[in-house]
Amino acid sequence: MASLGALKRSMALTLILIFGMLFTLLVVISTLVQWYMEDNLFPFWFQMVFIVLLTLGFVLLQWAISPGIIRWSSRLRYLRSGENPFFENTVRELCQKSGVPMPALAVSPDRSPNAFVFGRSRKSATLAVHVGLLEQLNKDEIRGVLAHEIGHIKHNDMTIMTIVSVVPILAYMLARSVLFSGGRGRRDSGAALLVAALLGFAVYVVSQLMILKLSRQREFYADAFSAVATNDPHSLSSALAKITYGLSLSKEQPGAARSFYIGDPLSAKREIGSIMQNRSKYDLDGDGVLDEKELMLAMEEEAKRRRHSEVASTHPSTFRRIQMLKEMEKDLKHGGMGKEIYGRI
């Protein structure tokens, strides 16, 4: 049985592994520089201290500036107290119930249905919704989405994901720097520098895949948190179906907050595309349009019929998320969930 403790252990292990790979890469590169560069002026210990400080500097820079980038790219407008009573009261109620600090509330003018949280810590978090989400979902569905986002705050996902995202960037930059350094040293330095560059690219790829896996896992946990916080897994299932369909039609380009969204615009187009290929099967009334119930049926059937490759995705497929929520809904009806709120992951 999975638990919040399992999520914390997974996050800790991911942090240790990816930063361990990065540190190993830095040691290898520094060692090669020490051995092969004829004009090396600095001792090995100095290089190690420098690269550790450089890594910490990049992490702090990412942590410091990412909220501003997200605010700017998403064109957010922060709400005044009392401006949207339903939005504000729902978030306050869920936060009090969950023991989470009340986040700042904001709205993006984007017409695609989506929501996300970001910030440097739980206390400085912002919960933002797109105008399209407020227009296309009913109040129960919106409540399910808001609970999902509060789950991210409770799990401190936005801080963890912001920090770990630095590692692939650094690994890629180091690999390119070594590869195009020109081998300004001994004659036999070329092969060693090539190996170091390949190691850098390997760290880039592996760490990126690990971060994507962690990102998908945190979405499952936030879904499970929402199901229990609202005692209504069905509303979130319905919301996810509408969000995925709405995102598949949107012409808006995903912004800097893509990995923070409740739904990924890029995978939504692929998922709905597979449903449209079998439209006749799901269009029960033959009117040429998939209504809400038919769309939900399609999502559930697709979850049973196929498993999309998710290795390169920031989010699990909507099919799998709805399947998990359906199982949680059955547990709730039979009183089987108890205190174990993450038991279906």
How many degrees, rounded to 5, is the angle at CA 40 between CA 35 and CA 42?
105
Alpha carbons within 13 A on the beta-carbon side of 52: 8
259 or 307: which carries more pLDDT confidence?
Answer: 259
Regarding predicted confidence, which is higher, 107 or 259? 107
For residue 142, count CB atoms less than 10 angstroms from its CB and return exposed for 0-12, middle for 13-18, buried for 19 or more.
Answer: buried
Mode of pairing for the β-strands spanning 104-108 and 77-78: antiparallel
- Altogether, the residues listed in the chain come to a count of 345
Q: Give the Cα separation of 140 and 263 in Å (integer).
A: 18
pLDDT band, residue 308 (cuts 50/70/90): low
Residues 6+ apart with CB under 8 A from 303: 317, 319, 320, 322, 323
**Chain centroid to CA 132: how far?**
20
Is residue 338 predicted with pLDDT exceeding 70?
no
Question: When comparing pLDDT for 7 and 215, which is higher?
Answer: 215
DSSP for residue 32: H
Query: For residue 107, which phi and psi values (nearest 5 degrees)?
Result: -130, 135
DSSP type of residue 258: G
Q: Which of 83, 88, 149, 271 is catalytic?
A: 149
Q: Convert the pLDDT of each residue in 63-78 to its tens digit.
A: 888 888 888 888 999 9
Q: Quote the distance between the C-alpha of residue 175 and its chain's center.
A: 25
Sole residue written with tokens 């509330």: 105
Residue 1 is predicted with a pLDDT of 39
pLDDT at 309: 62
In the prediction, which pLDDT does 145 show? Answer: 97
Provide the pLDDT for residue 258. 66
Is the confidence at residue 199, as pLDDT, over 60?
A: yes
Q: What is the mean pLDDT of the chain?
A: 81
Q: Using CA atoms, how far apart are residues 133 and 147, in angstroms rounded to an integer?
A: 14
Residue found under tokens 């598949």: 248
Query: Model confidence over 150-198: pLDDT tens digits?
Result: 999 999 998 888 888 888 888 888 888 777 765 555 555 667 778 888 8
Q: Answer yes or no: 294 catalytic.
A: no
Lowest mean pLDDT among 165-169, 273-277, 306-310: 306-310
What are the pLDDT digits (tens) for 19-46? 888 888 888 877 776 666 555 556 656 6
Alpha-carbon span 56 to 338, nearest angstrom: 42
Question: Region 76-101: what's the mean pLDDT?
Answer: 95
Burial class for 17, CB neighbours closer than 10 Å (0-12, 13-18, 19+): middle
Assign 68 to helix, strand or coil. Answer: helix
Q: What is the pLDDT of residues 276-303, one digit of tens each?
A: 766 767 777 766 666 667 777 777 776 6
